[in-house]
Amino acid sequence: MGADLKGRNFVSMLDLSREEILEVLDTARRLKEDHKAMGKKPLKRKTLAMIFLKPSLRTRVSFETGMTQLGGHAIYLAPTDISLGKRETTEDIALVLSRYVDIIMARVFGHDVVVDLAKHATVPVINGLSDFEHPCQIMADFQTIIERKDRLDGVKACYIGDGNNVAHSLMFGAAQVGMHMTVITPPGYEPKGEVTKQAAEIGGSTGSKINVSNDMATANGADVLYTDVWASMGQEDQAAARKKLFAKYRIDGNAMKLAHPNAIILHCLPAHYDEEIDYATSRLPNSAIFDQAENRLHAQKAIMAHLAGKV
């Protein structure tokens, strides 16, 4: 193991090199294999502060359980506990928490919040989700793809739906590890242009092909079909309009006919069945949705262990 990530932040998929991503994923594999034995406690006496401006089932439970399994302790901080930028500045909160805890995880709306936390904190900061990226989710996704496909390099993945934070991190991550990624969206809902451009530039050096399309036919031959809700938290007022615009951008029997016969199905959850994915397709043997959800636990344990220098 050569990567030294001690004291580093994980705010973006671009914070890790290809080699570092693969090393963290190997640690996640080992931690998953060993977790029921519960012998090693690398984060014993370590504390994680979990800042939640957005609620979440998977993020809270996976981080809190993961910290417990590693021998440490997690503290949940609700929006009413920390009024970031209101009662106290983000800088002061970062500096105070750095005196109390060993790692800070933040699940926020604006990406600038987690960037500011990372700028001012003197302990590692992990992006549990922002409106621009969701890197912890992508590490779990990659772990799941490796479990089903034995590799990332050369895998052809298609993300179908809104060009959101998950799409951004998938593009950055795929470009880093040599995985081909096509994001298929309705016109006007593509990922941010600067993300597409930067991911394509990175992919030029790794052999990764990054594409954006409005045509479902570009899912032809895909090894991975991935989707997410059409309207994310905070976009509830757009849900009805999006439901009409996104109607054909979904994973269903038609999408599965386009993909490779052994294509795996991913969804970062929560799912709105019969919208972005139909229930029957989500329960096919090809589906790795709940493996993917479990791997949030193991991938995040690996991230925390590496950032704490306890691998």
Mean pLDDT of all residues belonging to the chain? 95
What does the pLDDT read at residue 81? 87
What does the pLDDT read at residue 232? 79
> Residue 35 above 80 pLDDT?
no
pLDDT digits (tens, 9 = 90+) for 238-262: 888 899 999 999 999 999 999 999 9
Tokens representing 194 are: 């600067």
Q: Which residues are catalytic?
A: 107, 134, 137, 228, 268, 296
pLDDT digits (tens, 9 = 90+) for 213-225: 999 999 999 999 9
> What would the mean pLDDT of 259-282 be, rounded to a whole number?
97
Q: Alpha-carbon torsion 203, 207, 208, 211, what sign?
A: positive
pLDDT digits (tens, 9 = 90+) for 55-79: 899 999 999 999 999 999 999 999 8
Tokens 């959101």: give the residue: 164
Instruction: Using pLDDT thresholds of 50, 70 and 90, give the confidence band for residue 38.
Output: low
Domains of the chain: 13-134+297-307 (3.40.50.1370), 137-292 (3.40.50.1370)
What does the pLDDT read at residue 52? 96
**Whether 128 contacts 58, CB under 8 Å:** no
Using CA atoms, how far residue 141 sits from 115, 152, 220, 309, in Å, is 23, 10, 21, 23
pLDDT digits (tens, 9 = 90+) for 153-200: 999 999 999 999 999 999 999 999 999 999 999 999 999 999 999 999
Q: Is 103 helix (H, G, I), strand (E, B) or coil?
A: strand
> Residue 226 above 50 pLDDT?
yes
pTM higher than 0.85, yes or no?
yes
Q: Kindly report the backbone phi and psi dihedral angles of residue 61, in degrees, each rounded to the nearest multiple of 5, phi listed first.
A: -65, -40
What are the start-end ranges of the H helices in 52-134? 57-69, 90-100, 111-120
